[in-house]
Amino acid sequence: MITPRDIEQEDIEQYSTDQLKKIRSALRALRDAVILLNDDDGLEWWNQAAEDLLLLQSADHGKSIFDFINVPEFQQYYQTMVAPNDGVHMKSWRDPNRYLKCELTPFGDEKLLIIYDVTRLQHLEQMRRDFVANVSHELRTPLTVLMGYLENFSDQEDVPRQWRRGFELMTQQTARMNRVVNDLLLLSRIEIEETHELHYIDMTKLLTHVYDDAQAYNQEYGHTLHLQIDTYDGLYGSEMYLNSALSNLVINAIKYTPKAGNIVISWARTAEGCRFAVTDDGIGIAPQHVARLTERFYRVDSGRSRATGGTGLGLAIVKHVLYQYDTTLQIESSEGKGSTFSAVFPATHIRSAPMD
């Protein structure tokens, strides 16, 4: 005997089946490749875009995804993936002029893999990088000429008094523009260069150098600077770029801390790797600004930034340098109490000091 409960259960099952069909139909229509993987990394289901991209056939059901995507970047991403994540960008293994982004999302014992074609975005980004680099190079020569003539005229004793103030302002602004151009060129080199001169970095030596430079810059501010090195572990990477990034963080702490403040530079071992940090008791940063601090030319207080000689590119440089070490800039700040800028370098980039 069929009861109302049985009819209701049948309706629920039919509704669920219809909804599942709609979802699968929608996924099939997507231009992006969508693949459902089981707990053994085998293919459970895929849409037409995935079939075309990976040349899949019905007989491939259950085969490992690594049989079809045998790319080191993808394998490393897959094995170390955490949720949420930004995916991994890589060149297509079939067409070097095509760029793909793979994004993995786990749910239960299964995983959903989506592969996007980001070739157009990659080309646009490359055009932007080339434009910034070329414009910066073109500006450098006329700026050098201007700075030379302004310096020469400013040193002349017979310059009329009413002109002297104008020369001073022009000298200040060309010097500021020169700093912006130099930072743009550095940022472009960091972004564009695919290979860097990588070697062992003695962090004790590097941080001592950063500390000494900071002491020289600190003379007009009168802060008390502390250097705390709790490990002799170093890094494997580009020392020039790392020095620029860490110096930027320390100089920022000096500039944005009221005179006679305290600034601590530290390097210590952690469970995840090694942590670099700069802590100050300065003016602090309002919460709404923290997330945007590493954007190019973003300023919390534009007037104060220009007064301190900032270009608005320092933290963008820091972000891109840290990206080379698979880490990000962490910012903890409280208005009126101070800030801590830190980064944890993962164990894969840590190197012990070489034996003499």
If DSSP codes are grouped into helix, strand and coil, which group holds residue 329?
coil
* DSSP E strand boundaries for the chain: 33-37, 43-46, 88-91, 99-107, 110-117, 199-201, 224-229, 234-237, 262-269, 273-280, 330-334, 338-346, 350-351
Q: Does domain 121-192 have CATH number 1.20.58.100?
A: no
The topology under which CATH files domain 199-351 is Heat Shock Protein 90 (3.30.565)
Burial per residue of 224-248, b for 16 or more beta-carbon CB atoms within 10 angstroms, e otherwise:
ebebeeebebbbebbbebbbbbbbb
> For the chain, where do the domains classified as CATH 3.30.450.20 start and end?
31-117
In the predicted model, what is the mean pLDDT of residues 324-345? 93
Write out the H or E segment, with its range, that includes residue 197: none
Each residue's pLDDT tens digit, 107-162: 778 888 999 988 888 888 778 777 777 777 788 888 888 888 888 887 787 778 77
pLDDT bin (cut points 50, 70, 90) of residue 266 is: very high
Vertex 334, ends 331 and 337: CA angle to 5°? 120
Place of tokens 């037409």: 48
More confident site: 354 or 346: 346
Distance between CA atoms of residues 221 and 130, nearest Å: 38
176-204 average pLDDT score: 80
- Contact indicator for 48, 28 with CB cutoff of 8 Å: yes
* Residue ranges of the chain assigned to CATH 3.30.565.10: 199-351
Residue 337 is classified by DSSP as T
**Contact (CB, 8 A) for 234 and 269:** no
Q: Measure the CA–CA gap between 148 and 128, rounded to whole angstroms.
A: 30
For residues 110 and 45, give the distance between their C-alpha atoms in angstroms, rounded to a whole number.
11
Half-sphere exposure of 308 (CA within 13 A, CB side): 23
Residue 11 predicted with pLDDT over 90:
no
CATH superfamily of 31-117: PAS domain (3.30.450.20)
Q: Which residue(s) pair with 97 in the sheet?
A: none
The answer on pLDDT for 264 being more than 80 is: yes
Residue range(s) in the chain whose domain bears CATH number 1.10.287.130? 121-192
Return the DSSP state at 64.
Answer: B
Report the alpha-carbon distance of residue 98 to residue 312 in Å, rounded.
33
**pLDDT, average across residues 185-194:** 75
- What DSSP assignment string belongs to 124-175? HHHHHHHHHHHHHHHHHHHHHHHHHHHHHHHT-TTS-HHHHHHHHHHHHHHH
Q: Is the pLDDT of residue 76 over 90?
A: no
